[in-house]
Amino acid sequence: MITKPLTGLMTKDELIFERSKAGKKGISFPKERIFSKPLAARIPDLYQRKQTTALPEISEPEIVRHFVNLSRKNFSIDTHFYPLGSCTMKYNPKINEEIARLDGFAWIHPFQTPETIQGALQVLFELQEMLCEITGMDAFSLQPAAGAHGELCGMMLVRAYYHQRQDFKRTKVIVPDSSHGTNPASAALCGFEVVTTPSGPDGRVDLIALEKAMDDHTACLMLTNPNTLGLFEKDILQITRLAHQKGILLYYDGANLNPLLGIVRPGDMGFDIVHLNLHKTFSTPHGGGGPGAGPVGVKKSLIPFLPVPAIKKKNSVFELDSNQPHSIGKVRSFFGNFGVLLRAYVYIRTIGSDGLTQISRDAILNANYLRRRLEKLLEIPYNDYCMHEFVATVRQYKSKGLHASDFGKRMLDFGIHAPTVHFPLVVEDALMIEPTETESKEVLDQLVEVFEIMVKEANDDPESLKKAPYTMPIRRPDEVQAARKPILSWRDYSQDLKRPSSPDMPSTG
Protein backbone atom coordinates (compact mmCIF):
# COMPACT_ATOMS: atom_id res chain seq x y z
CA MET A 1 0.00 0.00 0.00
CA ILE A 2 1.26 3.43 -0.89
CA THR A 3 1.15 5.63 2.18
CA LYS A 4 3.11 8.59 0.83
CA PRO A 5 2.54 10.39 -2.43
CA LEU A 6 5.10 9.42 -5.00
CA THR A 7 6.88 12.72 -4.90
CA GLY A 8 10.39 12.40 -6.13
CA LEU A 9 9.33 9.77 -8.57
CA MET A 10 7.13 11.72 -10.93
CA THR A 11 7.56 15.34 -9.95
CA LYS A 12 11.23 15.70 -9.10
CA ASP A 13 12.86 18.23 -11.39
CA GLU A 14 15.41 16.02 -13.04
CA LEU A 15 17.09 16.85 -16.27
CA ILE A 16 16.78 14.34 -19.05
CA PHE A 17 20.50 13.62 -18.70
CA GLU A 18 20.11 12.85 -15.02
CA ARG A 19 17.35 10.35 -15.79
CA SER A 20 19.51 8.63 -18.36
CA LYS A 21 20.66 5.10 -17.59
CA ALA A 22 23.09 3.20 -19.80
CA GLY A 23 21.37 0.66 -22.01
CA LYS A 24 17.83 2.05 -21.77
CA LYS A 25 16.10 2.51 -25.08
CA GLY A 26 13.13 4.47 -26.35
CA ILE A 27 13.33 3.06 -29.83
CA SER A 28 14.61 -0.17 -31.36
CA PHE A 29 15.89 -0.34 -34.90
CA PRO A 30 15.28 -3.49 -36.95
CA LYS A 31 18.18 -5.88 -36.79
CA GLU A 32 17.93 -7.11 -40.37
CA ARG A 33 19.93 -5.35 -42.95
CA ILE A 34 17.69 -3.23 -45.14
CA PHE A 35 20.53 -2.37 -47.46
CA SER A 36 22.95 -4.62 -49.27
CA LYS A 37 25.75 -3.23 -47.10
CA PRO A 38 25.35 -2.18 -43.47
CA LEU A 39 24.42 1.49 -43.37
CA ALA A 40 27.62 2.54 -41.65
CA ALA A 41 29.71 1.00 -44.41
CA ARG A 42 27.95 3.16 -46.98
CA ILE A 43 28.97 6.42 -45.30
CA PRO A 44 32.48 7.65 -46.13
CA ASP A 45 34.90 7.28 -43.28
CA LEU A 46 35.43 11.03 -43.17
CA TYR A 47 31.83 11.57 -42.05
CA GLN A 48 31.62 8.79 -39.51
CA ARG A 49 31.65 9.50 -35.80
CA LYS A 50 34.61 8.18 -33.93
CA GLN A 51 32.71 8.07 -30.68
CA THR A 52 29.04 7.85 -29.78
CA THR A 53 27.01 10.97 -29.08
CA ALA A 54 26.29 11.96 -25.50
CA LEU A 55 22.54 11.53 -25.92
CA PRO A 56 20.47 10.50 -22.90
CA GLU A 57 19.33 6.89 -22.76
CA ILE A 58 15.76 6.66 -21.60
CA SER A 59 12.53 4.75 -22.27
CA GLU A 60 9.70 6.16 -24.37
CA PRO A 61 7.14 6.69 -21.53
CA GLU A 62 9.78 8.40 -19.42
CA ILE A 63 10.72 10.80 -22.17
CA VAL A 64 7.07 11.58 -22.91
CA ARG A 65 6.42 12.34 -19.24
CA HIS A 66 9.58 14.38 -18.99
CA PHE A 67 8.60 16.76 -21.77
CA VAL A 68 4.89 16.89 -20.94
CA ASN A 69 5.73 17.76 -17.34
CA LEU A 70 8.20 20.38 -18.48
CA SER A 71 5.57 21.93 -20.75
CA ARG A 72 3.15 22.08 -17.81
CA LYS A 73 5.54 24.28 -15.85
CA ASN A 74 5.03 26.94 -18.47
CA PHE A 75 2.23 29.39 -19.08
CA SER A 76 0.41 29.22 -22.37
CA ILE A 77 -2.82 30.50 -23.77
CA ASP A 78 -4.23 26.98 -23.66
CA THR A 79 -3.58 26.72 -19.92
CA HIS A 80 -3.81 30.24 -18.46
CA PHE A 81 -5.32 33.70 -18.83
CA TYR A 82 -2.76 36.02 -20.37
CA PRO A 83 -3.63 39.74 -20.09
CA LEU A 84 -0.31 40.76 -21.63
CA GLY A 85 -0.86 44.28 -22.96
CA SER A 86 0.06 45.00 -26.58
CA CYS A 87 0.72 41.31 -27.26
CA THR A 88 -2.90 40.29 -27.96
CA MET A 89 -2.55 36.85 -26.40
CA LYS A 90 -5.92 35.53 -27.42
CA TYR A 91 -7.18 32.02 -27.94
CA ASN A 92 -6.05 30.46 -31.21
CA PRO A 93 -8.81 28.29 -32.68
CA LYS A 94 -7.63 24.72 -33.19
CA ILE A 95 -9.02 24.53 -36.72
CA ASN A 96 -6.10 26.80 -37.76
CA GLU A 97 -3.72 24.10 -36.58
CA GLU A 98 -5.62 21.30 -38.28
CA ILE A 99 -5.50 23.04 -41.65
CA ALA A 100 -1.86 24.06 -41.24
CA ARG A 101 -0.99 20.38 -40.72
CA LEU A 102 -2.69 19.13 -43.89
CA ASP A 103 -0.12 17.26 -45.96
CA GLY A 104 -0.70 19.42 -49.02
CA PHE A 105 0.36 22.50 -47.06
CA ALA A 106 2.82 21.09 -44.54
CA TRP A 107 4.94 19.20 -47.05
CA ILE A 108 5.34 21.79 -49.80
CA HIS A 109 8.95 22.37 -50.68
CA PRO A 110 9.89 26.03 -51.09
CA PHE A 111 11.64 25.26 -54.38
CA GLN A 112 8.52 23.81 -56.02
CA THR A 113 7.47 25.46 -59.25
CA PRO A 114 4.37 27.71 -59.20
CA GLU A 115 2.36 25.22 -61.30
CA THR A 116 2.66 22.65 -58.52
CA ILE A 117 1.65 24.96 -55.65
CA GLN A 118 -1.35 26.77 -57.11
CA GLY A 119 -3.40 26.12 -53.96
CA ALA A 120 -0.80 27.64 -51.65
CA LEU A 121 -0.39 30.64 -53.94
CA GLN A 122 -4.16 31.07 -53.98
CA VAL A 123 -4.16 31.18 -50.17
CA LEU A 124 -1.45 33.86 -50.20
CA PHE A 125 -3.11 35.86 -52.97
CA GLU A 126 -6.51 35.82 -51.28
CA LEU A 127 -4.95 36.67 -47.92
CA GLN A 128 -3.35 39.73 -49.53
CA GLU A 129 -6.75 40.75 -50.87
CA MET A 130 -8.47 40.24 -47.52
CA LEU A 131 -5.83 42.28 -45.71
CA CYS A 132 -6.30 45.08 -48.27
CA GLU A 133 -10.03 45.03 -47.55
CA ILE A 134 -9.54 44.96 -43.77
CA THR A 135 -7.01 47.84 -43.74
CA GLY A 136 -8.09 49.98 -46.72
CA MET A 137 -4.74 49.61 -48.47
CA ASP A 138 -4.10 48.86 -52.17
CA ALA A 139 -1.50 46.06 -52.03
CA PHE A 140 0.26 43.82 -49.51
CA SER A 141 3.52 41.96 -49.27
CA LEU A 142 3.43 38.93 -46.99
CA GLN A 143 7.19 38.48 -46.71
CA PRO A 144 8.15 40.18 -43.40
CA ALA A 145 8.44 37.64 -40.60
CA ALA A 146 7.48 39.81 -37.61
CA GLY A 147 6.17 43.22 -36.65
CA ALA A 148 9.60 44.80 -36.31
CA HIS A 149 10.59 43.24 -39.63
CA GLY A 150 7.50 44.79 -41.24
CA GLU A 151 8.52 48.17 -39.83
CA LEU A 152 12.01 47.83 -41.28
CA CYS A 153 10.51 46.84 -44.62
CA GLY A 154 8.19 49.88 -44.40
CA MET A 155 11.11 52.20 -43.69
CA MET A 156 12.94 50.77 -46.71
CA LEU A 157 9.86 51.57 -48.79
CA VAL A 158 9.91 55.15 -47.49
CA ARG A 159 13.56 55.54 -48.44
CA ALA A 160 13.05 54.01 -51.90
CA TYR A 161 10.05 56.29 -52.50
CA TYR A 162 11.99 59.50 -51.86
CA HIS A 163 15.14 58.32 -53.61
CA GLN A 164 13.17 57.56 -56.74
CA ARG A 165 11.89 61.15 -56.63
CA GLN A 166 15.49 62.37 -56.24
CA ASP A 167 14.51 63.78 -52.85
CA PHE A 168 17.52 63.06 -50.64
CA LYS A 169 16.95 65.69 -47.97
CA ARG A 170 14.21 63.83 -46.08
CA THR A 171 16.28 62.01 -43.50
CA LYS A 172 14.12 62.20 -40.37
CA VAL A 173 11.36 60.01 -38.98
CA ILE A 174 9.04 61.28 -36.24
CA VAL A 175 7.76 58.95 -33.51
CA PRO A 176 5.71 59.92 -30.44
CA ASP A 177 7.30 59.30 -27.03
CA SER A 178 4.69 56.63 -26.29
CA SER A 179 5.55 54.58 -29.38
CA HIS A 180 6.49 50.92 -29.27
CA GLY A 181 10.28 50.60 -28.91
CA THR A 182 10.59 48.85 -32.25
CA ASN A 183 9.42 51.99 -34.12
CA PRO A 184 12.44 54.23 -33.42
CA ALA A 185 14.70 51.16 -33.67
CA SER A 186 13.43 50.25 -37.16
CA ALA A 187 13.75 53.85 -38.40
CA ALA A 188 17.29 54.12 -37.02
CA LEU A 189 18.30 50.74 -38.46
CA CYS A 190 17.24 51.98 -41.87
CA GLY A 191 19.49 55.04 -41.50
CA PHE A 192 16.89 57.66 -40.54
CA GLU A 193 17.36 60.18 -37.77
CA VAL A 194 14.67 59.65 -35.11
CA VAL A 195 12.77 62.67 -33.78
CA THR A 196 10.59 62.07 -30.72
CA THR A 197 7.54 64.20 -29.98
CA PRO A 198 5.88 64.40 -26.57
CA SER A 199 2.36 63.26 -25.70
CA GLY A 200 -0.12 65.85 -24.53
CA PRO A 201 -1.78 65.84 -21.08
CA ASP A 202 -4.52 63.51 -22.34
CA GLY A 203 -1.98 60.85 -23.40
CA ARG A 204 -2.54 61.55 -27.09
CA VAL A 205 -0.26 63.14 -29.69
CA ASP A 206 0.40 66.80 -28.89
CA LEU A 207 -0.66 68.44 -32.18
CA ILE A 208 1.28 71.66 -31.66
CA ALA A 209 4.52 69.86 -30.82
CA LEU A 210 3.96 67.52 -33.75
CA GLU A 211 3.41 70.34 -36.24
CA LYS A 212 6.60 72.01 -35.01
CA ALA A 213 8.59 68.81 -35.51
CA MET A 214 7.45 68.32 -39.13
CA ASP A 215 9.66 70.03 -41.70
CA ASP A 216 11.25 69.61 -45.16
CA HIS A 217 13.61 67.02 -43.73
CA THR A 218 10.87 64.77 -42.39
CA ALA A 219 10.40 61.60 -44.42
CA CYS A 220 7.80 59.86 -42.34
CA LEU A 221 5.59 59.99 -39.28
CA MET A 222 5.15 56.64 -37.52
CA LEU A 223 2.02 56.27 -35.42
CA THR A 224 0.03 53.63 -33.62
CA ASN A 225 -3.68 54.19 -33.31
CA PRO A 226 -4.90 53.30 -30.75
CA ASN A 227 -1.65 54.42 -29.16
CA THR A 228 0.22 52.38 -26.56
CA LEU A 229 -2.01 53.75 -23.81
CA GLY A 230 -4.92 52.08 -25.58
CA LEU A 231 -6.39 55.47 -26.54
CA PHE A 232 -7.72 56.34 -29.98
CA GLU A 233 -6.07 59.39 -31.58
CA LYS A 234 -9.19 61.46 -32.19
CA ASP A 235 -7.34 64.01 -34.33
CA ILE A 236 -6.00 61.39 -36.68
CA LEU A 237 -7.56 62.89 -39.84
CA GLN A 238 -6.11 66.30 -39.00
CA ILE A 239 -2.70 64.71 -38.32
CA THR A 240 -2.55 62.79 -41.60
CA ARG A 241 -3.78 65.81 -43.60
CA LEU A 242 -1.13 68.03 -42.02
CA ALA A 243 1.64 65.52 -42.75
CA HIS A 244 0.56 65.05 -46.37
CA GLN A 245 0.46 68.81 -46.91
CA LYS A 246 4.14 68.82 -45.97
CA GLY A 247 4.95 65.93 -48.31
CA ILE A 248 5.47 63.50 -45.42
CA LEU A 249 4.53 59.82 -45.63
CA LEU A 250 2.52 58.22 -42.83
CA TYR A 251 3.38 54.84 -41.37
CA TYR A 252 0.82 52.94 -39.32
CA ASP A 253 2.03 50.42 -36.74
CA GLY A 254 -0.87 47.98 -37.00
CA ALA A 255 0.55 45.34 -34.67
CA ASN A 256 -2.54 45.78 -32.54
CA LEU A 257 -5.38 45.86 -35.02
CA ASN A 258 -7.59 43.94 -32.61
CA PRO A 259 -9.96 46.84 -31.73
CA LEU A 260 -10.33 48.16 -35.29
CA LEU A 261 -11.51 45.20 -37.38
CA GLY A 262 -14.57 46.16 -39.38
CA ILE A 263 -14.79 49.48 -37.52
CA VAL A 264 -12.01 51.79 -38.78
CA ARG A 265 -9.33 51.28 -41.44
CA PRO A 266 -5.81 52.73 -41.38
CA GLY A 267 -6.10 53.38 -45.12
CA ASP A 268 -9.17 55.57 -44.52
CA MET A 269 -7.36 57.40 -41.73
CA GLY A 270 -4.84 58.52 -44.37
CA PHE A 271 -1.92 56.17 -43.77
CA ASP A 272 0.37 55.27 -46.70
CA ILE A 273 2.07 52.19 -45.23
CA VAL A 274 0.93 49.74 -42.55
CA HIS A 275 2.19 46.55 -41.05
CA LEU A 276 0.03 44.00 -39.26
CA ASN A 277 1.04 41.38 -36.73
CA LEU A 278 -0.80 38.29 -37.91
CA HIS A 279 0.54 36.46 -34.85
CA LYS A 280 -1.37 38.88 -32.64
CA THR A 281 -4.64 39.97 -34.24
CA PHE A 282 -5.03 36.99 -36.55
CA SER A 283 -4.53 34.25 -34.01
CA THR A 284 -1.25 32.43 -34.43
CA PRO A 285 0.29 31.00 -31.25
CA HIS A 286 3.17 33.31 -30.37
CA GLY A 287 5.52 34.23 -27.59
CA GLY A 288 8.89 32.83 -26.70
CA GLY A 289 10.25 33.90 -30.05
CA GLY A 290 8.02 31.65 -32.14
CA PRO A 291 7.33 32.37 -35.80
CA GLY A 292 5.29 35.42 -36.69
CA ALA A 293 4.25 37.37 -39.76
CA GLY A 294 4.30 41.14 -40.24
CA PRO A 295 2.84 41.77 -43.71
CA VAL A 296 3.18 45.27 -45.09
CA GLY A 297 0.41 47.07 -46.96
CA VAL A 298 0.74 50.23 -49.03
CA LYS A 299 -1.24 52.76 -51.02
CA LYS A 300 -0.93 52.86 -54.83
CA SER A 301 2.00 55.26 -55.01
CA LEU A 302 4.21 52.82 -53.10
CA ILE A 303 3.32 49.58 -54.86
CA PRO A 304 6.34 49.67 -57.25
CA PHE A 305 8.71 49.49 -54.27
CA LEU A 306 7.20 46.42 -52.55
CA PRO A 307 9.37 43.31 -52.10
CA VAL A 308 9.55 40.74 -54.91
CA PRO A 309 8.30 38.34 -55.98
CA ALA A 310 4.75 39.68 -56.01
CA ILE A 311 2.02 37.04 -56.09
CA LYS A 312 -0.28 37.80 -59.01
CA LYS A 313 -3.27 36.22 -60.71
CA LYS A 314 -3.47 36.08 -64.50
CA ASN A 315 -6.32 34.24 -66.27
CA SER A 316 -7.08 32.35 -63.04
CA VAL A 317 -3.46 31.16 -62.75
CA PHE A 318 -1.35 32.31 -59.82
CA GLU A 319 2.20 33.37 -60.59
CA LEU A 320 5.27 34.94 -59.05
CA ASP A 321 6.29 38.26 -60.56
CA SER A 322 9.84 39.45 -59.89
CA ASN A 323 9.83 42.00 -62.68
CA GLN A 324 9.63 45.14 -60.54
CA PRO A 325 12.59 47.44 -61.30
CA HIS A 326 11.96 49.76 -58.32
CA SER A 327 11.40 47.01 -55.75
CA ILE A 328 13.42 47.08 -52.52
CA GLY A 329 14.14 43.40 -53.29
CA LYS A 330 13.55 40.44 -51.08
CA VAL A 331 13.22 40.92 -47.32
CA ARG A 332 12.85 37.24 -46.55
CA SER A 333 13.42 33.93 -48.26
CA PHE A 334 10.58 32.37 -50.26
CA PHE A 335 7.05 33.47 -49.23
CA GLY A 336 7.47 34.56 -45.61
CA ASN A 337 6.30 32.34 -42.76
CA PHE A 338 3.81 30.34 -44.79
CA GLY A 339 2.38 28.43 -41.80
CA VAL A 340 1.52 31.67 -40.01
CA LEU A 341 0.00 33.20 -43.15
CA LEU A 342 -2.11 30.08 -43.65
CA ARG A 343 -3.40 30.19 -40.06
CA ALA A 344 -4.41 33.85 -40.52
CA TYR A 345 -6.21 32.93 -43.75
CA VAL A 346 -8.14 30.14 -42.03
CA TYR A 347 -8.97 32.42 -39.12
CA ILE A 348 -10.37 35.16 -41.36
CA ARG A 349 -12.27 32.72 -43.58
CA THR A 350 -13.85 30.84 -40.68
CA ILE A 351 -14.80 33.91 -38.68
CA GLY A 352 -16.11 35.99 -41.59
CA SER A 353 -16.51 39.74 -41.83
CA ASP A 354 -19.29 40.02 -39.23
CA GLY A 355 -17.19 37.88 -36.92
CA LEU A 356 -14.21 40.19 -37.33
CA THR A 357 -16.31 43.19 -36.30
CA GLN A 358 -17.62 41.26 -33.32
CA ILE A 359 -14.04 40.47 -32.26
CA SER A 360 -13.20 44.15 -32.05
CA ARG A 361 -16.41 45.12 -30.30
CA ASP A 362 -15.85 42.40 -27.68
CA ALA A 363 -12.16 43.30 -27.25
CA ILE A 364 -13.14 46.91 -26.57
CA LEU A 365 -15.99 45.88 -24.25
CA ASN A 366 -13.77 43.53 -22.23
CA ALA A 367 -11.04 46.15 -21.84
CA ASN A 368 -13.46 48.85 -20.73
CA TYR A 369 -15.27 46.51 -18.35
CA LEU A 370 -11.97 45.67 -16.65
CA ARG A 371 -10.86 49.31 -16.65
CA ARG A 372 -14.05 50.43 -14.91
CA ARG A 373 -13.74 47.68 -12.30
CA LEU A 374 -10.02 48.16 -11.68
CA GLU A 375 -10.18 51.97 -11.45
CA LYS A 376 -11.64 51.44 -7.98
CA LEU A 377 -8.48 49.57 -6.94
CA LEU A 378 -5.65 51.09 -8.97
CA GLU A 379 -4.68 54.46 -10.34
CA ILE A 380 -5.32 54.74 -14.09
CA PRO A 381 -3.43 57.84 -15.22
CA TYR A 382 -5.13 58.49 -18.58
CA ASN A 383 -8.49 57.15 -17.55
CA ASP A 384 -10.55 57.58 -20.67
CA TYR A 385 -12.69 55.31 -22.83
CA CYS A 386 -10.09 52.86 -24.12
CA MET A 387 -9.79 50.51 -27.07
CA HIS A 388 -8.36 46.98 -26.62
CA GLU A 389 -6.19 47.77 -23.60
CA PHE A 390 -5.47 50.30 -20.88
CA VAL A 391 -2.58 51.22 -18.61
CA ALA A 392 -2.79 51.26 -14.82
CA THR A 393 0.01 52.18 -12.42
CA VAL A 394 1.14 51.06 -8.97
CA ARG A 395 3.41 54.08 -8.46
CA GLN A 396 1.54 54.89 -5.21
CA TYR A 397 3.33 51.87 -3.63
CA LYS A 398 6.81 53.09 -4.51
CA SER A 399 7.36 54.35 -0.96
CA LYS A 400 6.81 50.75 0.23
CA GLY A 401 9.47 49.53 -2.18
CA LEU A 402 6.93 47.89 -4.47
CA HIS A 403 7.00 48.05 -8.26
CA ALA A 404 4.88 46.88 -11.16
CA SER A 405 6.92 43.70 -11.55
CA ASP A 406 6.15 42.67 -7.93
CA PHE A 407 2.45 42.66 -8.78
CA GLY A 408 3.19 40.83 -12.03
CA LYS A 409 5.14 38.13 -10.18
CA ARG A 410 2.40 37.68 -7.59
CA MET A 411 -0.23 37.15 -10.27
CA LEU A 412 1.59 33.98 -11.35
CA ASP A 413 0.65 32.41 -8.00
CA PHE A 414 -3.00 32.84 -8.96
CA GLY A 415 -2.51 31.16 -12.32
CA ILE A 416 -2.67 34.37 -14.34
CA HIS A 417 0.15 35.48 -16.59
CA ALA A 418 1.61 38.88 -15.68
CA PRO A 419 0.49 41.89 -17.69
CA THR A 420 3.09 43.93 -19.57
CA VAL A 421 4.99 45.81 -16.86
CA HIS A 422 7.05 49.03 -16.96
CA PHE A 423 5.73 49.88 -20.43
CA PRO A 424 4.78 52.30 -21.91
CA LEU A 425 7.57 54.46 -20.52
CA VAL A 426 5.31 57.51 -20.25
CA VAL A 427 3.67 55.90 -17.22
CA GLU A 428 5.82 55.07 -14.22
CA ASP A 429 5.36 51.54 -12.81
CA ALA A 430 2.90 50.74 -15.54
CA LEU A 431 0.72 47.64 -15.80
CA MET A 432 -0.54 47.40 -19.35
CA ILE A 433 -3.61 45.18 -19.43
CA GLU A 434 -5.18 43.65 -22.53
CA PRO A 435 -7.86 41.06 -21.76
CA THR A 436 -8.72 40.29 -25.44
CA GLU A 437 -12.14 39.28 -26.70
CA THR A 438 -11.77 35.56 -26.05
CA GLU A 439 -12.10 35.79 -22.26
CA SER A 440 -15.43 35.48 -20.45
CA LYS A 441 -16.78 37.86 -17.82
CA GLU A 442 -16.04 35.23 -15.15
CA VAL A 443 -12.36 35.21 -16.04
CA LEU A 444 -12.22 39.01 -15.99
CA ASP A 445 -13.92 39.01 -12.59
CA GLN A 446 -11.27 36.59 -11.32
CA LEU A 447 -8.57 39.05 -12.36
CA VAL A 448 -10.33 41.77 -10.37
CA GLU A 449 -10.43 39.47 -7.34
CA VAL A 450 -6.71 38.83 -7.68
CA PHE A 451 -6.07 42.57 -7.75
CA GLU A 452 -8.24 42.98 -4.64
CA ILE A 453 -6.00 40.48 -2.84
CA MET A 454 -2.79 42.06 -4.12
CA VAL A 455 -3.82 45.60 -3.20
CA LYS A 456 -4.64 44.38 0.31
CA GLU A 457 -1.25 42.68 0.51
CA ALA A 458 0.49 45.81 -0.76
CA ASN A 459 -1.14 47.85 1.99
CA ASP A 460 -0.87 45.36 4.87
CA ASP A 461 2.17 43.24 4.10
CA PRO A 462 4.27 44.63 1.23
CA GLU A 463 7.16 42.25 2.03
CA SER A 464 5.05 39.28 0.98
CA LEU A 465 4.61 40.77 -2.50
CA LYS A 466 8.32 41.35 -2.86
CA LYS A 467 9.04 37.65 -2.45
CA ALA A 468 6.42 36.42 -4.92
CA PRO A 469 5.95 34.14 -6.75
CA TYR A 470 5.69 31.31 -4.23
CA THR A 471 4.42 28.53 -6.47
CA MET A 472 6.65 28.72 -9.53
CA PRO A 473 9.61 26.39 -10.21
CA ILE A 474 11.84 29.45 -10.56
CA ARG A 475 11.04 32.49 -8.48
CA ARG A 476 13.22 35.56 -8.96
CA PRO A 477 15.95 34.94 -11.53
CA ASP A 478 18.52 37.60 -12.26
CA GLU A 479 16.68 38.84 -15.33
CA VAL A 480 19.65 40.55 -16.95
CA GLN A 481 21.92 37.52 -16.54
CA ALA A 482 19.14 35.18 -17.62
CA ALA A 483 18.76 37.13 -20.86
CA ARG A 484 22.44 37.83 -21.55
CA LYS A 485 24.18 34.75 -20.21
CA PRO A 486 21.62 31.96 -20.24
CA ILE A 487 22.87 28.51 -19.31
CA LEU A 488 21.48 26.43 -22.11
CA SER A 489 23.21 23.11 -21.67
CA TRP A 490 23.32 20.50 -18.94
CA ARG A 491 27.03 20.72 -18.32
CA ASP A 492 29.91 22.78 -19.53
CA TYR A 493 30.52 21.65 -23.08
CA SER A 494 33.31 24.15 -23.63
CA GLN A 495 35.79 21.33 -22.90
CA ASP A 496 34.43 19.30 -25.80
CA LEU A 497 34.62 22.30 -28.09
CA LYS A 498 38.23 22.90 -27.20
CA ARG A 499 39.26 19.44 -28.33
CA PRO A 500 41.95 19.92 -31.03
CA SER A 501 40.55 19.85 -34.57
CA SER A 502 37.65 17.60 -33.69
CA PRO A 503 38.52 14.38 -35.57
CA ASP A 504 34.94 13.39 -36.37
CA MET A 505 34.07 16.65 -38.09
CA PRO A 506 35.21 17.20 -41.68
CA SER A 507 36.87 20.53 -42.24
CA THR A 508 34.65 23.02 -44.03
CA GLY A 509 37.34 25.71 -44.54
Ligand X SMILES: *Cc1c(COP(=O)(O)O)cnc(C)c1O
Nearer to ligand X, 99 or 153 (CB): 153
Chain positions 137 to 166 lying near ligand X, rule: CB under 6 A, are 146-148
Chain positions 324 to 343 lying near ligand X, rule: CB under 6 A, are none
Distance between CA atoms of 57 and 55, rounded to whole angstroms?
6
The verdict on 253 binding ligand X (CB under 6 A) reads yes
CB of 337 to ligand X, least distance (A): 11
Q: Return the closest-CA partner of residue 298 out of 326, 339, 335.
A: 326
Please state the φ and ψ torsions of residue 21, each to the nearest 5 degrees: -140, 130
**What SS3 class is residue 275?**
strand
Binding mask 84-113 for ligand X (x = CB under 6 A): --x---------------------------
Chain positions 258 to 277 lying near ligand X, rule: CB under 6 A, are 277
Q: Which residues pair with 317 in a beta bridge?
A: 314
Closest-approach residue to ligand X (CB): 147
Pairing of strands 249-254, 273-276: parallel
Q: Considering only the stretches 14-22, 158-166, 248-256, 396-404, report the one whose residues sit in contact with ligand X under the rule CB under 6 A.
A: 248-256
Pairing of strands 420-421, 172-176: unpaired
The verdict on 294 binding ligand X (CB under 6 A) reads yes
Peptide bond into 226 cis (omega under 30): yes
Nearer to ligand X, 226 or 270 (CB): 226
Binding mask 198-227 for ligand X (x = CB under 6 A): --------------------------x---
Among 170, 180, 388, 409, binds ligand X (CB under 6 A): 180
Q: Do residues 492 and 499 lie in contact, with contact meaning Cβ atoms separated by under 8 Å?
A: no
What does each C-alpha distance from 370 to 185, 271, 364, 450 come to in angstroms? Answer: 32, 31, 10, 12
The verdict on 409 binding ligand X (CB under 6 A) reads no
Q: Which residues pair with 276 in a beta bridge?
A: 254
Among 135, 141, 225, 256, binds ligand X (CB under 6 A): 256
CB of 15 to ligand X, least distance (A): 31
Nearer to ligand X, 292 or 309 (CB): 292
**What SS3 class is residue 420?**
strand
The verdict on 230 binding ligand X (CB under 6 A) reads no
Nearer to ligand X, 159 or 388 (CB): 388
Q: Do residues 474 and 414 lie in contact, with contact meaning Cβ atoms separated by under 8 Å?
A: no
Q: Is the dihedral of CA 286, 443, 349, 387 positive or negative?
A: negative
C-alpha triplet 413, 427, 377: angle, nearest 5°: 50
CB of 86 to ligand X, least distance (A): 4
The verdict on 182 binding ligand X (CB under 6 A) reads yes
Which residues are near ligand X by CB under 6 A?
86, 146-148, 180, 182, 224, 253, 255-256, 277, 292, 294
